Structure 1
Amino acid sequence: MDSNLEEHLQLKAFEGKFDVKDFIGSVSERLITQSKAEAGPFDPKPFIRTFEEAVDRLIKVRKDVQARTEQLERTVRTAEREYSKKMVDLNKGFEAVGNSFSGMETRMNEVGRTAIRIGEQLESVHLERQRAQAAYDLIDYYNQFSRDDTSKLDTLKKEGREGRRQVAVILRRLSTVAKEVDLPTAEKTRESIDKYCEKFEKDMLYLFDRCYRKGEPKMMHHCAQTLLDFNGGASCVQVYVNQHDFFINRIRETTTSNDTILWQALPDPERIPPKTESGLMELFAEIRKTVGQEAQIVQAVFPNPPYVMQVFLQRIFAQSIQQYVEQLLNKASTISDLAYLRMLQLVHLRTSHLVEDLKSYELPSVTPRSPVDAADFRRSMLNAPSAGTSASTASLSSMLESIMEELFVPYTEGQRYLEKESRSLGELYSSHLANFTRYHAKSQKGPSSMFDRMMNQLSAAASDTNTGGGLTSSSAQAAASAFMRFRGITTEKKPEPPTEEPLREEDGQLSIEVAEKMLKWHAEAIGRCVELTPNNDVPKHTFALLRVLAEAIGNAYIETALETTLAKLEASDPKAEPPLQLLSVLRLVDLICHLWQQYINIALFPLASSSVTVRREMVVFNNQTISRIEGTANMFMQRMTDAVVSWLSTQLTKQKKNDFKPRNDDLRTSNTEPCTACCEMLEKVCEAAKQNLSGKNLEVFLTEIGNAFHCLLLEHLRKFPVNATGGIVLVKDLKAYQDTIDTFAIPALHERFEFIRQLGNIFLLGPDILKSFITDSYLGRIDSALLRPYLAQRSDWGQFERGFNDEGEDTVPGLPESKGLKQRLGVGRLSMMMKDLEGLRIGEGMNMNIPSLPSGFTNSFSLSARAFGAGL
């Protein structure tokens, strides 16, 4: 066998990654080379012999491998049996050891329980022995006091710190026993014990004060602990607090700072409210520094640091902070209500920040150092004075919040704050609107003017303490009382000042800037209300301040301007052109109300969300206020409409009798004078309306004027005879009217005046085609009896009246009989004619949808913003 083939048939050739194709290729590689080298046909015999030898060799290798595998398997089975046997032996050994330990543990537990029982019995015996010894010693000390012998206690007191602590405990117990003993000499003994206790306390307090001045914290701690064991340690704490340098120094520094800029800014509503006061900031900075230092000292000196820290902070608030706050507020109250309220907010804000900082000094309670004194420590804490006990059980955070609430209760309790806020707003609005009020007061001299009505309402509201009831009666009364001086109105007649500023026209005009100032001042008041009042009172206080705002901006400002404008309109000369410039007040009213209502929706209503009842009342009240303003605006628009229509009617009466019946050679090229005057007025009305009205208000106003003028023209056309030449003049006038009305951009008016124009065409056409025109056009849908008054104005009507009447006597389908209709309409009354014209078409693709004429603007004018009670 070839050596190369022998190498490929070794066992190691199959140990790695084996590939059959590679193996066959390597075995037959040499044979393939020889076959290619030899000439002639392919000879398979060498390949067969080689593969046969390889197969034989592989069979032998497989047998060797199989024999070796069987031998190894036998060896492994033998090893596994031996391993299993060893593991069984080990498990048995471990179980034996575990059982030994379990038995040992059981025996140890039994011994431990026995030891515990013995220890408990020993402890009980020891405690009984201690109590017996303490009782014996207590009786012995009592007997010594009865003999006025205190030498033993004096000796014990001189033994140092531990002796003084024992004396403190003994004296506390003697005081308790002395109160219970009922013997003939008990009173004298009790007095002796009390005197000794008083002397001991004074000695310890003197020692504490001396160590405090020397700066010996360890000895101070001993004195504090001893006094705590003696009587709770309240006297020690008082000495520490009273002798503190902070309080001694602050007694000499009680004056407020002279910050000129601050005190000038406080009463000025135009300036931003100050956020700091130098003296207050210095005081609070010193408090922060002092408390930070004292927290460490208190924790090191006193065995009950939380109680001591609370007493110290209570003294700071009661003496330093409260005194300085009173000085600030008293000084501010002498300036103005606004200065007082701003200072109150400033102090409250800064104090709340101080309280939040002081909450970080929450000190942990200290346990007694000796377990033996645990019972004495607990009893001493329980026997401490009530003030100390209550303070020690309350957390520092809750105590600080309670102190801050008590600090501001005198200024915010009941209706005190709300009355101040309402009065302040009333004074601000009264001062700011002084010239405005004077201007309109002089413009309205009637006995039943709005000023008289408002004075009567406010007087009734201020005097009736029971009216309104519910949760807003007191606030409403406060707001009414605040407004008794608003705008210079009082129940008493005050003499006019001798000299007053001359009034200008601008003083009586509405202004967006003025409204923004009023809302800004109100928003500042609401901010103070949210900060200074409890959360439960915020909704009703917000409602009360909303009433103040509504009375000022709604009644005293907007309605006053509207009523004065209405009075000017009514007092204007009816023969002169209507004062269209007065419409500008509606634009300002709309803008101010929009700003006002946006403020209410965004700022005020959310504050009342916690009270559904108050929020609902606020929405109802606000909507009633807006409805009242809308009613006044509607009345003004109606009066303006009446004035415009009256002036147009007057101009139409100036139409000459022969304007539409000129001579044949007198053909004018221009419109008639009444037409020109009416068109000019309508153009002015359209321009003024578009400048000052918008949306539905503009549409309704122009529609009202257009409809009224349409009615005037229908009546006007029945009054003047028209000849062929005059028909041309008439059509020119009607075309001018239609073109002017088209500038209103209202489809309904366009349809009405298109009908007027077609009606004018009956004066242009000849008698021969007039019948066919009326029949084939839109006019054919109208009963001929309705057209008769207009046809009768034709100069040639007498020539073809008979023929026209013959056809007109036929009944029109779908209408009542002609005769009955004539009798019903008489000469064609305008109201019935307008009713019959509703909804008919004019020409191809033109719908005549004429709305019914409103009787007034009672429900037409609406403000651009109104509050709704969403979510109620």
Structure 2
Amino acid sequence: MSFSIYELDENILKLLTVDNFLNGMSVNDFIEEISKDHFLKGAEVNNKAYLDPKPYIRTFESTLRELKQLQIHANDSKVKNERSVDSYELKHSENVLDLNAQINHATEKFDLLDTQISDVSSKINPLGNTLNKITNSRDRSQETIFLIRAYHGFFTKEQYLPLETLRTSRKLDDKLKCAKTVRNLLNLAKKVSDEKIAKSMKCISTIESFGDVMEKELLRKFEIASEDEGDIDFDMMNEIAKILFEYNEGINVIQTFVIKNDILIHEENNDTEEPNWTLLADPNYNDFKLDHQSVFDNLKFEIKARARMSRKVFADPIPVVKIFIQRMYAQIIRNKVTSLLQKSLTISSLAHVRVLHSLFTMVGDFTGDIKDFLTTEEFDKDQELSNILDQSYCDLFVEYIGDNVYFSREKKNLEEIVYEIIHKFNTANETVITNKLLATRVENLDNLEYTPQRPENDRFSFASERKRMNEFTKYVTAKIIERSGSRNSDYSEPTPNEYKLLDVAQVETVLKSVIESVARILELVPNKAPEYAFEILEILIIDFGKLYIGGGLEVVYDECKKNNSLDYLGYFNSVSELLFLISSCIKRIILPIATNIPSIKTRMSNLVNGFVAQCEISLNIILKDTLEQFKFKFQNLLSKQKKKDFNCSNIEDDTEACELVSDFLVELHTNISTAMNGTNLEKILIKIGMEVLHQLLEHYKKFTVNSIGGIVLTKDVIRYQSVIDTWEIPELSEQFQILKEIGNLFTVQADLVNSLIKEGQLAHMKPYTVRQYISKREDFNPSYADRFFKFK
């Protein structure tokens, strides 16, 4: 109890509770709350707000006492609670120990009971086995007794009424017993029969007759149950199937079911249109497609329907589905495949391999779909049906794919396509190609000059190439003889001029055929793909590339020798495009096939590299001869330059030689630009331009030039430069600046020559060469040349 004269008011007492502090009130909040009503509002002392400290002091003293009392109370509560906690923990531990004792006791009881049960089971199990044996023995004894009585009945009376009762019963178990008994009767009768005892043989036939009657009656009911497609009695069919499976493994009921639902009868009436054989035999037609997909779609539908029906009828539908599959492949699919492939052989090799590939793909997809269906529907858990499908699929095409039969036709197809092109091209250029001037020159070239350096074991085998080319030449000759012997009124030789030039379209035809062949090889004979791909490459490079592109280069070389025009330069672009197409096809399509067989890949690379190298050598020879002819022509035009053209007294128009040369260069550029483009055009123009520059530099060393003649020479030079500038080759235009600087040597005053030769391109020219031009000045005097020109 407090004895202070300043008692705390009720509001502050309310604040001094443990709950307030537990609920989050801080000391600052508490102080603010108890002191907020003690300000002297509005009063001032000595111009300062009045503050009476006593209420604050007394209030805080009282507050402090109350807080101490609260602390004492809290401590007492804490001690009391700790004692309560100790008491409850002790009680909990006692409960845990008591429960543990109870559990141990229950476990001991359970172990004892388990032991007792095990003892009882060990004693009962032998007894149960004995009872099972006795029961089984009793059942077998009853069956044996019934079987012997039935045999005695058939042997003595040719019938056994209890068995007939089972046969005519409506109960499934009775019919199953009848079927099983008849089966066992037949086995027994055959074992005990003796040919010397006629009655025993008669008994066998009697039992067989009884079984036949039973089976025929069941089969008749089976057919009746399956006749109404809208309301098939699958339960009845299933019961009959079980009975007949018990009798003779269901051989006849399966045949009845298959014949009743035979796919062959349904499919024979679904005729499809014949493929367009003309298009299939055309190498330029790529969008070919056999119109038989509907047949396979119908077959898929039918086999799925039969499979689902067989599951409802038979306990084990796999034997039934197996028969459907075998009949479908051996009859329906084989008939279609054989008829189409035999027909295609009479059309062409291309038509045959295309039809073979299409059918192989189509039947393969069909087989895969059937396998997926059987797996999804859980018909084929042991993969038995999948193996039958794969084997049936392979058996269809083994006659056309195995033993190298397919690839021999694939090669024949490509050879026929190549033959058509080579024959037409050779006919149009027979004389040129027969001469083989370019080929002879290539073979006689110095290898160090033209042939890229390669290891000896990597060099292209020309002997092998010649052998293969000779073989193909014989093939072409044989085809020509064959064609001439079988020529009819509709056949006419191609007009030579139509096929005189290389045609990118012909190369594209061959490349498309090669790609198409490789695609077929990868699918039909993947195991032999690298080996066959190399043979395809030999046809492409040796049979086609050497004869067609090589022959085209012979034509170019012949045109180059004639030099009637420069149109033949257009072949540079054509040959470059053709080589690019062939190289791209080989690099992307053929070479990757032999990635895992380095030996074949190396042979492929050597074959291609040798062919490309020969083509490049041939092009270099043609280009070199072209430049030689141009050089000779240019020299003839420059020879028309008159001696007085640059040693004259008046300035006239451009000299005759300048006009002829300029016109020739303009015409030459026009022809070359029309025939060539891109890098090839730029390279040949640079070679020609540098040759022009060289000829002009040598040309101006031959003429004496006076001051007026120097102006004429400069005019000629300016015209040459303007012609070269139209070629739009900065490198060449820059080189031609030397001509203008040389012209300045003849026009400047003598005392300026020394400074002139130290500037521009003249500064890089050899002093002796510069002196040759200066010596052609009219005012040149050798006796004081060095002093006058200050030139060494």
TM-score range, shorter chain: 0.7 to 0.9
Find the partner of 1:670 among 635, 638, 653.
653
The separation in 2 between residues aligned to 1:294 and 1:801, in whole angstroms, is 116
Aligned to 1:292: 304
CA contact (8 A) 2:44 2:50 kept: no
**Higher mean C-alpha displacement, 231-240 vs 489-498:** 489-498
Q: Does 1:338 align with 2:338?
A: no
Aligned to 2:338: 326
Aligned to 1:618: 604
Change (3 A) 1:330 1:131: same
Alignment of 1:145-224 (within 5 A): 151=160, 158=167, 160-167=174-181, 170=184, 174=188, 178=191, 202-203=212-213, 206-207=216-217, 209-214=219-224, 215=226, 217-218=234-235, 220-224=237-241
Q: Does 1:646 align with 2:632?
A: yes
Change (3 A) 1:477 1:711: closer
Question: Shift of residue 769 of structure 1?
Answer: 7.9
Alignment of 1:553-632 (within 5 A): 554-572=545-563, 579-632=565-618
CA contact (8 A) 1:208 1:219 kept: no
Aligned to 1:424: 413
**Secondary structure of 2:429's aligned partner:** helix
**Higher mean C-alpha displacement, 623-632 vs 237-246:** 237-246
Find the partner of 2:432 among 420, 444, 463.
444
Change (3 A) 1:313 1:647: same
The separation in 1 between residues aligned to 2:738 and 2:179, in whole angstroms, is 116
CA contact (8 A) 1:224 1:233 kept: yes
The separation in 2 between residues aligned to 1:30 and 1:763, in whole angstroms, is 120
Q: Does 1:348 align with 2:379?
A: no
Aligned to 1:371: none
Question: Shift of residue 358 of structure 1?
Answer: 1.4
Question: Shift of residue 354 of structure 1?
Answer: 2.0
CA contact (8 A) 1:305 1:364 kept: no
Alignment of 1:116-515 (within 5 A): 116-123=125-132, 151=160, 158=167, 160-167=174-181, 170=184, 174=188, 178=191, 202-203=212-213, 206-207=216-217, 209-214=219-224, 215=226, 217-218=234-235, 220-226=237-243, 228-229=245-246, 232-234=249-251, 236-250=253-267, 253=269, 256-259=271-274, 262-263=276-277, 265-277=279-291, 280-362=292-374, 394-428=383-417, 430-431=419-420, 436-441=425-430, 444=432, 446-448=434-436, 490=480, 494=484, 500=492, 503=495, 507-515=499-507
The separation in 2 between residues aligned to 1:589 and 1:124, in whole angstroms, is 93
Aligned to 2:119: 110
Change (3 A) 1:795 1:130: same
The separation in 2 between residues aligned to 1:27 and 1:708, in whole angstroms, is 115
**Higher relative contact order (CA closer than 8 Å, sequence separation 6+):** 1
Q: TM-score, normalised by structure 2?
A: 0.76
The separation in 2 between residues aligned to 1:722 and 1:392, in whole angstroms, is 105
Q: Does 1:20 align with 2:27?
A: yes
Change (3 A) 1:625 1:234: farther
CA contact (8 A) 2:530 2:594 kept: yes
**Secondary structure of 2:403's aligned partner:** coil
Aligned to 1:100: 109
Q: Does 1:528 align with 2:520?
A: yes
CA contact (8 A) 2:322 2:385 kept: yes
Question: Shift of residue 79 of structure 1?
Answer: 4.8
State the AA in 1 paired with 2:360. H
Q: Does 1:9 align with 2:13?
A: yes
The separation in 1 between residues aligned to 2:776 and 2:376, in whole angstroms, is 110
CA-to-aligned-CA distance 1:603-641 (integer Å, 9 cap, x gap): 443444454443333333222222232232222222221
CA contact (8 A) 2:16 2:66 kept: no
The separation in 2 between residues aligned to 1:784 and 1:66, in whole angstroms, is 120
CA-to-aligned-CA distance 1:715-768 (integer Å, 9 cap, x gap): 545655556655554454455445545656667766775556656666667888
Aligned to 1:463: none
Q: Aligned residues: percent identity?
A: 25
CA-to-aligned-CA distance 1:62-110 (integer Å, 9 cap, x gap): 5555555555554554455444434433332232223222221222223
Question: Shift of residue 322 of structure 1?
Answer: 0.8
Question: Shift of residue 584 of structure 1?
Answer: 1.5
**Secondary structure of 1:334's aligned partner:** helix
Question: Shift of residue 538 of structure 1?
Answer: 3.0
The separation in 1 between residues aligned to 2:377 and 2:738, in whole angstroms, is 98
Change (3 A) 1:113 1:349: same
CA contact (8 A) 2:553 2:618 kept: yes
The separation in 2 between residues aligned to 1:549 and 1:737, in whole angstroms, is 47
The separation in 2 between residues aligned to 1:54 and 1:543, in whole angstroms, is 109
Question: Shift of residue 355 of structure 1?
Answer: 1.7
Aligned length: 745
The separation in 2 between residues aligned to 1:427 and 1:7, in whole angstroms, is 119
State the AA in 2 paired with 1:444. V
Aligned to 2:451: none
State the AA in 1 paired with 2:554. E
Alignment of 1:712-731 (within 5 A): 712-713=695-696, 716-717=699-700, 726-731=709-714
The separation in 2 between residues aligned to 1:600 and 1:691, in whole angstroms, is 30
The separation in 2 between residues aligned to 1:445 and 1:68, in whole angstroms, is 124
**Secondary structure of 2:9's aligned partner:** helix
**Higher mean C-alpha displacement, 119-128 vs 615-624:** 119-128
**Secondary structure of 2:272's aligned partner:** coil
CA-to-aligned-CA distance 1:323-351 (integer Å, 9 cap, x gap): 12222233333333333333333323332
CA-to-aligned-CA distance 1:119-143 (integer Å, 9 cap, x gap): 3455466667777888898899999
Show structure 2 runs of 5+ residues with no match. Answer: 227-232, 442-463
State the AA in 1 paired with 2:128. G
The separation in 2 between residues aligned to 1:137 and 1:720, in whole angstroms, is 139
Q: TM-score, normalised by structure 1?
A: 0.70
Aligned to 1:834: none
State the AA in 1 paired with 2:287. P
**Higher mean C-alpha displacement, 500-509 vs 767-776:** 767-776
Change (3 A) 1:689 1:68: same
Alignment of 1:732-771 (within 5 A): 732-737=715-720, 740-741=723-724
State the AA in 2 paired with 1:331. K
The separation in 2 between residues aligned to 1:38 and 1:668, in whole angstroms, is 125
**Secondary structure of 2:347's aligned partner:** coil
The separation in 2 between residues aligned to 1:295 and 1:777, in whole angstroms, is 95
The CA RMSD measured in Å over matched residues stands at 5.2
Question: Shift of residue 317 of structure 1?
Answer: 0.8
The separation in 2 between residues aligned to 1:81 and 1:642, in whole angstroms, is 121
Question: Shift of residue 696 of structure 1?
Answer: 5.4
Question: Shift of residue 42 of structure 1?
Answer: 5.6
The separation in 2 between residues aligned to 1:439 and 1:796, in whole angstroms, is 64
Question: Shift of residue 48 of structure 1?
Answer: 4.7
The separation in 1 between residues aligned to 2:6 and 2:246, in whole angstroms, is 113
The separation in 2 between residues aligned to 1:72 and 1:774, in whole angstroms, is 119
The separation in 2 between residues aligned to 1:779 and 1:38, in whole angstroms, is 111
CA contact (8 A) 2:281 2:348 kept: yes
CA contact (8 A) 1:227 1:233 kept: yes
CA contact (8 A) 1:306 1:396 kept: yes
